[in-house]
Every structure is written in structure tokens, then in C-alpha cells.
Structure 1
Amino acid sequence: MNPIMTSLILSSLALGTVITLTSYHWLLAWIGLELNTLAIIPIIAKQHHPRGTEATTKYFLTQAAASAMLLFSSTINAWSTGTWDITQLTSQPACIMLTMALSMKLGLAPLHFWLPEVLQGTSLKTALIITTWQKLAPMALLFLTQHALNPATLLTMGLLSTLIGGWGGLNQTQTRKIMAFSSIAHLGWMATILTISPTIMILNLILYLLMTISTFTVLIFTTSKTIKDLTTTWTISPTLSSLTLILLMSLGGLPPLTGFMPKWLILQELTSHNLPSLATILAMSALLSLFFYLRLSYTTALTLPPTTTQNKLKWRFYPKQKTTMFSTTLVLSTLLLPTTPLFL
């Protein structure tokens, strides 16, 4: 793609999110979301491949439907309350429609069907943008309207998302689909805690972004599109292979690592609000996700590829890649648990 067009599209993508984050008027928030959607369409479609075209069409139709629903819900609210202020959301039908629209934009179950398919049809870098940057604007709107949203609806959708995110990733061999189901499961945890403790939801979102960025950076660095590709990570960099194992355990939420922090705080908050059964099911669903992370880490760091040990280097030569962002996010994704008292 032309560098000028690339910079224009990426700046539009950033601008759309910033407009939504800083808006107080429903129309302004809708404009930001639309700009965001329209900016990423050429990024997904730039591969000139049937899968890329299919992913672009699915993404566009889903996001357009969600945006229309959001605009409709804000219009209903303005009709009943006489104001377009985002925080003045009082109409019950508008609240339900807004929850559905933002859930569709994020990929929360049961409106998650587009996310694995879209990610599978895009490149790893585009999949990284969809699973990280594209979640910011809808999450900001959920955060602003959390006082008006129905807790039972969000708890149900959060529970469904964690279960589907766990079950769906079990039999996948494509790393992008695995990351899509991982994203659905993490969003489920955020939706569950949103109405109970919004600050923990923000913390969870930040740590999810950190861990997802570092995982995708590993996949981009090793050009791994399937689990089979990950078996040759050791021949590229033994250090990276070992660190990937720790990173995947952090994504799964094992105790000594950063990923355990949001799960721990969410389970503690749920039990203190007399929801022990929900907390138990959530904790059990985390085991499903942990299983496919374990499978990934097993093939990455605990097995050797089917080649002789004399073959030291992978046959492809890699250009020099900057590893600053990768090393920073990887360290933060694994070693932040001791800072937990700062967030309590």
C-alpha cells in the first residue's frame, strides 16, 4: 500500500477512537465509531485475496449493523429524555439496544460469530489491530454508560463469552482463531465485572491489551500462522521460545504471572457481592482457555521439530527486526503481579 495512504488510514483509525473516547454527545460517539470502521476496511482488504475480501465483507456488515443499532438506541433515548448526553441514558429499551450494539462491536457471545472468521482472513498485524485498538472505543462507551446498563444481561453475556471462548479454542489449529477465542474469553471477564467494579474492568482491559500485543508480536516475529509453525520457534530463538511459554501461561492466568491479577480481583469482587456460583463457573471456564494455551506452549517450547538436531537454523533468513516494543510488553505481561496492591 502507498505510504501516504497507509499513514492517512492509520491516522483516521486513531482519530476515530479518540473522537469516541472524548465525546459527550451520542452523534459524536457514533461518528467516531463509523470513522474507526471505515478506516480499517482497506487495511483488512489490502491482501487482494478471496479470504481477505470475505473477512472485509463480514466485518463491514457486522459493524454497520451494530452502528445502526447504536444510533437507533441513542435516538430512542433522546426522544424519551430530551438530551443527547451519553451519561443521561435512562430509557430501558435504549439500554438494551445499546448493550447489544456494543456487544456486537466487541465480539461478545452470543454475537461473537464474526470475530474468528474475520481474524482468520486477515494478516497477523491486522488481527493485532482488530483485537486491541478496535476494542477501545466500544469499551469506553460501555464504561461511560455502565450505571444504566442491566447487570443481569452483562453477567449472562460475560459468562457465555468465557465458556464459548474456552470451548471454541479447544480444537483450533490456526493461531489467529485461537487468539480470537482468547479475546472473546477475556472480553467475557470484562463484561462480567463491568457493572460491579468498572475500575477493575479498566485494569483488566489494560492487561489484556499488554498480553495480546506481546503474543501477536511473537507470532509476527516467528511468522507462525498455525500451531505447526510454532514448533520451529526454537530454531529461530531459544530465548523467545522459553519466554513464549511463560507468556502463554500468563494469558491463561496462572498465579505467579501478570494474567492472574485481573482474574483474582474479579473472582474476589464477585464473591464479595454474593455471587459465588458465578465466580466458580468463571474459574472453571478459565481452565478451558488454559488447556489450549498449554497446548500452544507444549508445541512451542517442550517439543523439537521433526528435523535432525544438527539443523541449527531455520531455512528462512529474517531481516533485522526491532524488538523494543516486544521486549517491553513481554516483561510487563509476565512480571506485574507484585504491583497488585497499587490497584486495590
Structure 2
Amino acid sequence: MDSSTADLIAEKNGDKMYIKFGNGLDRYSIDDFSRHIPDGVGLFVVTGEAEQETVADARRRGIMIWDRTELAYQIGKAVLADLEGEEIDLVETETAVPREENYIIAEDNTFQNNMFVTSTSSEQNQEVTQPVASIKAEEAQVSELNLKSSPINIRKDKAISIARPQLGSVSDAELKFVPFWKYVYSLHSEYQFKSKMIDISGEGEGFINAVNGNSEEFTLPEIRNSVQVECEYEIRSPSTTDAEIRGDLLEKIIEEHTKDVKFGNTVGEAIISEHKRFKPMKDDITIRTELVYVPVWEVKGKRNSVEINASTAEILDNPSDSDVEFM
């Protein structure tokens, strides 16, 4: 990560916190900051104004937000911890929500280089903050899995940071590859009724969960014939067949593209209305399907779990397995 993305990186016992300072907060800056955090937790310190909707969006992405009041409180807590010889854990800090008032921009930023350092009697347990340029990512062993899948763009610790605002404490996170039927369809039917020609045309695409049959609306990065994995994983088996999916899709497509057409004729002074129902024929519909896998992080809390698309960092609205619980 370059210094334009984060101003500081705090690291302790292998845990990293990427810190960004800004006068204001918008969706673009949060999106850019979130996408460029390779591991660890993100913290955005807002010294100016921030809308509640933007703050809520940041929290959904696993980014902590501090305003000037929270920043001052954390600095004071760090100083007291230093004097008393105690340690603090910034990662577990609750995300502060900026109030709807205007914020005064801090004039003195000299504390930025050491605000997260807490001294202890042991140098090995000391939290060290360094400039971004001096931090190098640890190399992990990577294996290549021959599976038609979208790439893994979100690491385990990043998935945990995204899920933590919804779960609170997190016990673990597991990577699983969930099968989906990717489909693309097109249709074209023509009917003639009296002097009118009725055209029924359409096209579309989507994903159907091959484990539980739920339809999903999401966009995936490029589907590749292999995927790189650097941790333990589980591959879920599909419980639906290509023939079953095609049959269900045909019925759904026919229902969605059926037209009710109203015709009106005038006979003398009388107006005669007539309704006619037109539906596409199965032979007029072309469907292409393929089985692909989506990497999913299942982040587990004490009672519930949250699933995160490991390719796009999106929190899944529907469970990928029938036995997954959501809050």
C-alpha cells in the first residue's frame, strides 16, 4: 500500500491497523480506502464533517470511524496506559459515530507519528508505528486450485474486520467455495393477432445457488479456470443438477415475459375491448449454464455468523448454505 492510501500503519503482535486522516468523509474515499487494505483493520480519523449515512456505509465495510472527540479520548487513554504500564487494544475499540455538528479542524498534527504507541516493560510487546513505505507484507505460501472460480481478493483478517461491526466478538473465519449455476438466456417470439404483430423478446443473466437453489443478484470478477489459495478451505458440493435448473429457469422466464395485450375495436358507436394473453414458447428460449464457484468467508461470532463474498467484499444477503444462521 502506498502512502496516498494510508497515513500510518500501527502493528502489534502481528495485527495491523491502517490509519487515514481526512477533513471530510465521502463514499469515494471510504471505497478507495477499503479496497486497498490488504490485511488488518482500517481506521479513518475525520477532523471535519461526516454524514451519518456515509459513516454507516464505512462501518458495513469494516472501517472504524473516529471524530475529533474520539481521537482526543483515545490519545488520553494511550497516555494513561503508558503511565500505568498497561496495554490497550485499538482493534477492539468500538467505532465512534460522528455527530451531526460541524467539526473544528485540528491545527496541530505533530502527534500523528506516535499517538498509537503504548510503552510496556517488555520491548517485545511494544506496539510500533512506522511510515507506510517501511512496511512489507508477509509472504504466504500460495497453492493453485484447479477450480472454475472467481479470484480471492479479500483475506481472512479483512473479512473479520468487515464482519466485526455486526457480530461484535469473532471466534473464527473459514473459507469455503460455494457452487453457483451461472446462466445467460435470450428469447424471441412473434405472434400475429388479426392485423397486429406481437413481439416478445428479452435477455438476461444471473446466478442460482447450487446448494439451496436461491437466486442471487451480484456481479463477479472474471471467472478463471483456477484460483490461488493460501489457507485451508472447503469445497461445497452442489445439490441441484443442470437439468433441474434449466427446467426452473424456463418456467420463470416464460412467466416474466408473458404479455397481456388489450385490443379495442369500434363497431358503429360501440367500443369492443378484447384481452389476449401471449407467452413465449420453450423452443424460442435459449439458455446457457455453467457451474462456477464463489469463494466465501464465513465469519463466526458467539451465536451467529456472517458470510462475505471473498471476491467483492460484499456481505451476502442470503445464506450460501441451508444451515447458516444470520443476525
TM-score (norm: length of structure 1)? 0.25
Q: Which has the larger radius of gyration?
A: 2
Going by fraction, where is helix more abundant, 1 or 2? 1
Highest RCO, 1 vs 2 (Cα 8 Å, sep ≥ 6): 2
Which has more strand, going by share of residues? 2
